[in-house]
Amino acid sequence: MRASIRKVEETRASRAKEEFPRLSLKERQELLHRFHPDYREGGRRELRVGVNKGQRVPNELADLFEGLSLIRPQEIDLNRIHREVDVLVIGGGGGGATAALFASESGARTLLTTKLRFGDSNTIMAEGGIQAAVGPYDSPALHYLDTIGGGGFENLPNLVQALVEDAPLILEWLARLGVMFDRKEDGDLLASFAGGQCRRRVHSAADYTGMEIMRVMKDEVYSRGIEVMEFCPAVELLLDEKGRCGGAIFLNLDTNERWIVRSKTTILATGGIGRLHIQGFPTTNHYGATADGLVMANRAGAKMIFMDAIQFHPTGTAYPEQLIGLLVSEAFRGWSAQLVNCEGRRFINELETRDVTSSATIREVVERKKGVSTPTGMQGVWLDTPLVELNKGKGTIHRVFPHLFHRFHTFGIDITKEPVLVYPTQHYQNGGLLIDENGETTVPNLFAAGEVSGGVHGRNRLGGNSLLDIFVFGRRAGILAAERSKGTKVGRLTLNHIIEYERELEREGILKKGIRSPILIPDYRYGKALPQIHQ
Amino acid sequence: MEIKERRLIPIYIFGKRYEVPEGLTIQKAMEYSGYQFIRSCGCRGGVCGACLTEYRTPKDYRIKMVLACQSLVEPEMQITQSPFIPMRRAQYELEKLKAQPDILGRIYPEIYRCLQCNTCSRVCPMEIPVMEYIACAIRGEIEKVATLSFPCVMCGACVLKCPAEISQPNVALLARRIYGRHILPLSHRLSQRIEEIKQGKYEWVLGRLVQLSTSELMELYTRREQEPQESGHWIPKEINFPENLLREDQ
Ligand SMILES: Cc1cc2nc3c(=O)[nH]c(=O)nc-3n(C[C@H](O)[C@H](O)[C@H](O)COP(=O)(O)OP(=O)(O)OC[C@H]3O[C@@H](n4cnc5c(N)ncnc54)[C@H](O)[C@@H]3O)c2cc1C
Ligand code: SF4
Ligand code: SF4
Ligand code: FES
């Protein structure tokens, strides 16, 4: 590694200002097809039962869909209601908190439930920032084009329109809640680049954007007196006899008790699936990102879209081994850090979209054999972080990336002086539950917001668009769910959808009795605690 | 070296002995020993503060407080965890607060009890000068509290140790929110953009964009002008892109 670092240092000055050409749309497609993990043979399979029959999803997710429910419907007394509310929000990340805030503001009795601590989420981990077209030469229309191009032109247009149109409003809402967004010297908002953007449009709070936003939202939820139920994951959704969602069953993780919550409307905001480790990849995601929402909603009959498209972030940490898989913010590349191979040469324009950049990295390592090996046998390429100091001035890394500086410093690496070794890591589910522009799924009275939903990002999300998405659709879902709850009377609750779904699996001969899902908590015990390397 | 070939070292989790490969974080070492976390685990990346852990080694009389996901195991360490720390959180409506110097002290009067023992700063796993920000809070320097406390992951280590029973992270959170809301200026440009959207300035162009075919979108996408890295005085050639083109086509 040392020798290779020296090569990176030798080439640094000569490539510092070099413009690396961008790929044409055709070249991008070719690269994706050859190297993106989504296209790997045998990684995905078709679902054979349920409302999403025929869709292809990663094997790891299909396994959960074909497993047994955590509850035995016959054993549950649906008349023993633990809590009764207007709007039930499932998931205590940014999407859930936003939905709860707006539902409650719209006058609904709201309950926010979550699996782990309130705020344990992917939201809290967001580093780079949130998109909104604010700049003088930027516009929602350019934001629209960037988003839809990044998504492979398959994004659902009505959702993208909602996203870009609400963006400035959301940014101001957050600022009014007291989020300390970064400013320029003149006091106006600072914006930086992410991949696939034609204008700088990402608004940050250093590299702690998600943490800053999440702690503010949590405080606001408590300020408003909204009830929060922690360490109580939902395990199944409840339907009424008309097939509308009427609440959920929860598991109290401390006591193992099952609690039934009946609600007029329900908002699912359970986040992503990183902890399924698709194709064995490490992940950037938090501990609770185990696809629970998808598993429950699929059984309840909610349609999905693009669930075969997984985002691998090009700059996951490859060294030191304690940090494998953890994210190194895209903002580094936004601030001019370059990706270089073992010889210190660039191989891609760093501001290509994530799917393309990851594919290029995989090509560099696997096909061109220009990767760098670590002592544990992992391979990666360099993210030349010292270049940021060279291009943008000494002290920039301390100012813009205090968290990442601290994290690497803890393990003896000074990223202002040394490059960081990176390799793609599983980061985001591009698809999810199909929603309309108000966040409603195909199951009446069931809404979805945030990473669990899909469509708005097409097959590949842009950096900074997910934080935006969770607030835009969390808000819209919260408002409509509250409004809808006013005229709604929940019918008799049932779990027949679970019984029928399992019967169907059995008929097809694919019921996996050894798997119970949703899995709720990942299992890293014993040898599984050690980093696994699959390349 | 493969981890599996590494030297095993003894650690004590809640007093029970386990042997784990050296080089693991405390979090992974506990998992290696057979723990499946419900509490004390969240982001696994040093930002959520769920994994506050205390330990002591035989050679040192001190108890250290760390984040389990960010610290390595040491031989013979005795480990315990604090997944939940009761903190005092005052009720307030941010919108109605004013950025007056005594505001933090009025809402959290216990800050005046600070003994300046500096224990909080010594235990903070994020190396935040906690005592200093409490001193700033007492002096009414809201901006300084906000910036000094910014990396706080709200783990509660300082709360657990404070002889004056102050809930430092909540004081800091309030300061940051007041700073963000009432001291930092709201962006004029942002308000202007929101106004434009409300008045329907982009309605037409977005209405057209949602109707375009993939090939039409691809063409526009390819024609976008890229703002350069150093964009100090940069002005795009076509200011009104893509609206100008779409209007021509009409
Ligand atoms: C390391 C990292 C960095 C990122 N950086 C950025 C960035 O800079 N910009 C950007 O736009 N996006 C970023 N993203 C993506 C973005 O942060 C997330 O996609 C987004 O925050 C998801 O929000 P959410 O509310 O949908 O889900 P989450 O924030 O993940 O919240 C989901 C919540 O649901 C809970 N939950 C899960 N299952 C259950 C259950 N069964 N019952 C009850 N509750 C449950 C979880 O515990 C969690 O609290 C990043 C993601 C990661 C992981
Ligand atoms: S200030 Fe207190 S709560 Fe915040 S990180 Fe430091 S010890 Fe933890
Ligand atoms: S631990 Fe408490 S009393 Fe001691 S310096 Fe910190 S805030 Fe003051
Ligand atoms: S698990 Fe979040 S800080 Fe350690």
Other Cβ atoms within 10 Å of B138 Cβ, number? 18
Report d(CA A417, CA A419) in Å as an integer: 7
Place B170 in a pLDDT band, splitting at 50, 70 and 90: very high
| Ligand 4, pocket-test mutation among B35, B44, B82, B84, most atoms within 8 A of CB | B44
To the nearest 10°, report the CA torsion of A413, A415, A418, A423: 90
Q: Whose CA is nearest to atom 3 of ligand 4?
A: B46
Place B130 in a pLDDT band, splitting at 50, 70 and 90: very high
Does A193 reach chain B within 8 Å, measured CB to CB? yes
Nearest Cα of chain A lies from the Cα of B85 at a distance, in angstroms, of 12
CB within 8 Å: A208 and B150: yes
pLDDT digits (tens, 9 = 90+) for A419-451: 999 999 999 999 999 999 999 999 999 999 999
Place B1 in a pLDDT band, splitting at 50, 70 and 90: very low
CB within 8 Å: B194 and A160: no
Taking 60 as the threshold, does the pLDDT of residue B3 lie above it? no
What are the start-end ranges of the H helices in A106-208? 140-150, 157-176
pLDDT of residue A534: 63
Domain A82-309+430-496 has CATH 3.50.50.60: yes
Report d(CA A209, CA A400) in Å as an integer: 11
Taking 80 as the threshold, does the pLDDT of residue B146 lie above it? yes
CB-CB contact of A279 with A58 (8 Å): yes
DSSP annotation of A288? T
> A254 to chain B: which residues are within 8 Å by CB?
38
Which residues neighbour A231 within 8 Å (Cβ) at sequence distance 6 or greater?
A114, A115, A116, A117, A252, A253, A254, B38, B39
pLDDT digits (tens, 9 = 90+) for A140-192: 999 999 999 999 999 999 999 999 999 999 999 999 999 999 999 888 999 99
Q: Ligand 4 centre from A125 Cα, in Å?
A: 10
Domain segments of chain A: what residues? 2-35+313-426, 82-309+430-496
Does A146 reach chain B within 8 Å, measured CB to CB? yes
Taking 70 as the threshold, does the pLDDT of residue B2 lie above it? no
- List B25's β-bridge partners, or say none: B72
Does B38 reach chain A within 8 Å, measured CB to CB? yes
Is A534 in the active site? no
Q: Which two tokens stand for residue A377?
A: 């046998």
- What number is the average pLDDT over the span B6-22? 96
CB within 8 Å: A25 and B28: no
Q: If residue A210 lies in a helix (H) or strand (E), which one and from where to where?
A: helix A209-223
Nearest Cα of chain B lies from the Cα of A177 at a distance, in angstroms, of 6
Is A333 in the active site? yes
| Domains of chain B, CATH where assigned | 3-81 (3.10.20.740), 94-183 (1.10.1060.10)
Taking 50 as the threshold, does the pLDDT of residue A464 lie above it? yes
- What number is the average pLDDT over the span B52-78? 96
Closest CA to A91 of A518, A461, A525, A438: A518
What are the start-end ranges of the H helices in A322-464? 331-334, 354-362, 386-392, 396-400, 402-410
Report d(CA B102, CA A318) in Å as an integer: 48
pLDDT of residue B231: 75
DSSP assignment of B65-89 equals: EEEGGG-B--TT-EEEE--------
DSSP annotation of B98? -
Give per-residue burial for A237-265: e unless 16+ CB within 10 Å, then b. Answer: bbbbeebbbbbbbbbebeeeebbbbbbbb
> B180 to chain A: which residues are within 8 Å by CB?
175, 177-181, 216
Closest CA to A350 of A16, A3, A14: A16
Report d(CA A504, CA A6) in Å as an integer: 60
Report d(CA A402, CA A122) in Å as an integer: 19
Closest CA to A171 of A127, A131, A128: A131
> Measured over all CA atoms, what is the biggest interatomic distance in chain B, rounded to whole angstroms?
80
Taking 60 as the threshold, does the pLDDT of residue B95 lie above it? yes
Tokens 């329109």 found at: A161
Place A463 in a pLDDT band, splitting at 50, 70 and 90: very high
A 26-85: CB under 8 A from B: none
Please report, for residues A321, A424, B73, B207, the alpha-carbon distance to residue A364 in angstroms, rounded to integers and kept in the order given.
21, 12, 35, 41
Closest CA to A2 of A424, A421, A411: A421
Q: Whose CA is nearest to atom 2 of ligand 3?
A: B162
The percentage of residues in chain A with a pLDDT greater than 90, rounded to a whole number, is: 96
Sign of CA dihedral A177, A178, A182, A184: positive
Among A58-62, A336-340, A375-379, the minimum mean pLDDT is found in A375-379
Ligand 4: residues within 6 Å at CB? B 41-44, 46-51, 67-69, 153
Report d(CA A89, CA A228) in Å as an integer: 10
DSSP annotation of B179? I
Place B4 in a pLDDT band, splitting at 50, 70 and 90: low
Taking 90 as the threshold, does the pLDDT of residue B150 lie above it? yes
Amino acid occupying residue A227? E
Q: Which two tokens stand for residue A39?
A: 């296209």
Does A25 reach chain B within 8 Å, measured CB to CB? yes
Domain A2-35+313-426 and domain A82-309+430-496, same fold? Reply is no
Instruction: Find the closest chain B residue to A158 by CA distance.
Output: B210
Sign of CA dihedral A314, A323, A181, A163: positive
Amino acid occupying residue B187? S
Q: Whose CA is nearest to atom 5 of ligand 2?
A: B152
Tokens 């783990």 found at: B155
> A22 to chain B: which residues are within 8 Å by CB?
226
Q: Which two tokens stand for residue A45?
A: 């399979």
Task: State how far Cα A474 lies from the chain centre.
Answer: 14
| Nearest atom within ligand 4 for CA of residue B67 | 4
DSSP assignment of A36-68 equals: -GGGSTTSEEE--SSTTTT-EEEHHHHHHHTEE
CB within 8 Å: A141 and B42: no
Q: Smallest Cβ distance to A403: which of B28, B48, B151? A: B151
CB-CB contact of A344 with A8 (8 Å): yes
Domain A2-35+313-426 has CATH 3.90.700.10: yes
Number of the ligand closest to the Cα of A433: 1
Catalytic residue among A333, A354, A407, A459: A333
Nearest Cα of chain A lies from the Cα of B169 at a distance, in angstroms, of 10
CB-CB contact of A50 with A69 (8 Å): no
pLDDT of residue B249: 79
Place A530 in a pLDDT band, splitting at 50, 70 and 90: confident
Number of the ligand closest to the Cα of A284: 1
Mean pLDDT of chain A, nearest integer: 96
* pTM over cut 0.90: yes
Give per-residue burial for A178-206: e unless 16+ CB within 10 Å, then b. Answer: bbbbbeeeeeebebbbbbbbbbbbbbbbb
Report d(CA A286, CA A308) in Å as an integer: 21
Does A119 reach chain B within 8 Å, measured CB to CB? yes
pLDDT of residue A469: 98
Helices (H) and strands (E) in chain A, counts: 15, 22
- What number is the average pLDDT over the span A88-101? 98
Please report, for residues B96, B101, B105, B172, the alpha-carbon distance to residue B186 in angstroms, rounded to integers and kept in the order given.
16, 20, 25, 21
- What number is the average pLDDT over the span A252-277? 97
pLDDT of residue A458: 98
Half-sphere exposure in the Cβ direction for A507 (13 Å, CA): 9
A 453-512: CB under 8 A from B: none
Optimal mutation site among A22, A115, A139, interface B, most CBs of chain B within 10 A: A139
pLDDT of residue B232: 80
Q: Which two tokens stand for residue B98?
A: 């004013």
To the nearest 10°, report the CA torsion of B26, B29, B33, B38: 60
Closest CA to A484 of A511, A446, A524, A451: A446
| Ligand 3, pocket-test mutation among B119, B121, B122, B161, most atoms within 8 A of CB | B119
CB within 8 Å: A116 and B50: yes
Instruction: Find the closest chain B residue to A253 by CA distance.
Output: B38
CB within 8 Å: B221 and A322: no
Does A331 reach chain B within 8 Å, measured CB to CB? no
Q: Which two tokens stand for residue B222?
A: 């390819």
Other Cβ atoms within 10 Å of A528 Cβ, number? 12
DSSP annotation of B182? I
Q: Whose CA is nearest to atom 1 of ligand 2?
A: B152
Q: Ligand 1 centre from B155 Cα, in Å?
A: 20
Report d(CA A455, CA B164) in Å as an integer: 52
> A326 to chain B: which residues are within 8 Å by CB?
44-45
